[in-house]
């Protein structure tokens, strides 16, 4: 039975191209293009953000159906505070509204929700909603949905460096004990497998300070589609492209009949 038929999807052509044994366990997404989509249509930017939420709901469903275990999205960066106050306030209110309306369904679907970032600047009512949402879903283990809010990759790395320096200076750890494993244990994503695949929409080709440590060996897929127009088919295209890659993690496949010998350059 094809994967498309197995999950009851009408778009069998794309699903049939997917190897269900090679679906990435963890997918990260930079959801870019909400404002541009709205502007192109002569609508307020807020319409783009609302439509972006609808798209996210669809992508969560598709990623679950495919067998992904973790989805991490970039919802609000540390740099987003520089946007107009009216837009920032709208986004904060949208976070609250969506969480209140969706958390029951999220929990019923055995999804765990985790917020990654510095929550301190957010209003108390939003922080309470976030806390209660995480508490309600903390024991769910079918799917992990990470929402990065007021998050910056550089800031996270600096924070970890400071924490390790403090532990070292206080004698809790030796400097020689600091390695990648220890560094990982201090990250906001500790205990979560690094993403195998990063998807960025809108055609922009940059990381925008997102999961800089965690994305070191991730495959990157750039979609020219603006996030409010991203859909199931576009997500499937990203998965198919990912499965066509040969992930070498900096190494190479063995080269038959080829040897490397010490050589001496002559002038």
CB 105 within 8 Å of CB 72: no
Q: Tell whether 45 is in a known binding site.
A: yes
Q: Tell whether 26 is in a known binding site.
A: no
Q: Tell whether 223 is in a known binding site.
A: no
Q: Tell whether 37 is in a known binding site.
A: yes
Q: Tell whether 219 is in a known binding site.
A: yes
Residues 6+ apart with CB under 8 A from 146: 70, 71, 72, 73, 113, 114, 115, 116, 189, 192
Q: Tell whether 78 is in a known binding site.
A: yes
Q: Tell whether 140 is in a known binding site.
A: no
Q: Tell whether 200 is in a known binding site.
A: yes
Q: Return left, alpha or beta for 159; rule: phi > 0 is left, psi -120 to 50 is alpha, else beta.
A: alpha
Q: Tell whether 154 is in a known binding site.
A: no
Q: Which residues are catalytic?
A: 32, 80
CA gap 72, 9 in Å, rounded: 24
Q: How far is CA 112 from the centre of its chain?
A: 15
Cβ atoms within 10 Å of 96's Cβ, excluding its own: 17
Q: Tell whether 79 is in a known binding site.
A: yes
> Both tokens of residue 20?
């269900």
Cβ atoms within 10 Å of 253's Cβ, excluding its own: 7
Q: Tell whether 39 is in a known binding site.
A: no
Strand order of the β-sheet with 26-30 is: 111-116, 143-151, 70-77, 26-30, 197-200, 219-222
Q: Tell whether 227 is in a known binding site.
A: no
Q: How far is CA 262 from the centre of its chain?
A: 44
3-state secondary structure of 155: helix
Q: Tell whether 206 is in a known binding site.
A: yes
- In the annotated binding site for Mg(2+), the residues are 32, 219
- In the annotated binding site for substrate, the residues are 33-37, 45, 49, 77-79, 81, 83, 200, 206-208
- In the annotated binding site, the residues are 32-37, 45, 49, 77-79, 81, 83, 200, 206-208, 219
């Amino acid at each position: 039975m094809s994967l498309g038929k197995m999950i009851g999807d009408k778009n069998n052509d794309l699903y049939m191209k997917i190897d269900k044994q090679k679906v990435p366990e963890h997918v990260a997404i930079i959801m870019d293009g909400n404002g541009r989509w709205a502007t192109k249509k002569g609508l307020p930017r807020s319409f783009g953000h609302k439509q972006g939420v609808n798209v996210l709901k669809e992508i969560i469903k598709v990623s679950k159906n495919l067998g992904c275990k973790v989805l991490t999205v970039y919802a609000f960066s540390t740099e987003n505070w520089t946007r107009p106050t009216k837009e920032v306030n709208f986004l904060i209110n949208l976070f609250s509204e969506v969480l209140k309306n969706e958390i029951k369904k999220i929990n019923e679907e055995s999804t765990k929700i985790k917020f990654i970032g510095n929550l301190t600047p957010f209003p108390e009512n939003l922080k309470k909603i976030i806390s209660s949402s995480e508490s309600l879903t903390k024991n769910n283990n079918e799917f992990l949905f990470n929402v990065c809010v007021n998050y910056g990759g550089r800031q996270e790395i600096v924070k970890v460096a400071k924490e390790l320096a403090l532990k070292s200076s206080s004698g809790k750890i030796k400097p020689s004990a600091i390695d990648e494993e220890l560094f990982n244990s201090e990250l906001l994503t500790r205990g979560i497998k690094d993403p195998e695949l990063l998807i960025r929409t809108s055609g922009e080709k940059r990381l925008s300070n997102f999961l800089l440590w965690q994305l070191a060996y991730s495959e990157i897929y750039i979609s020219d589609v603006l996030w409010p127009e991203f859909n199931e088919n576009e997500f499937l295209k990203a998965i198919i492209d990912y499965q066509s890659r040969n992930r070498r993690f900096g190494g190479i496949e063995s080269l038959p009949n080829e040897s490397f010998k010490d050589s001496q350059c002559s002038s």
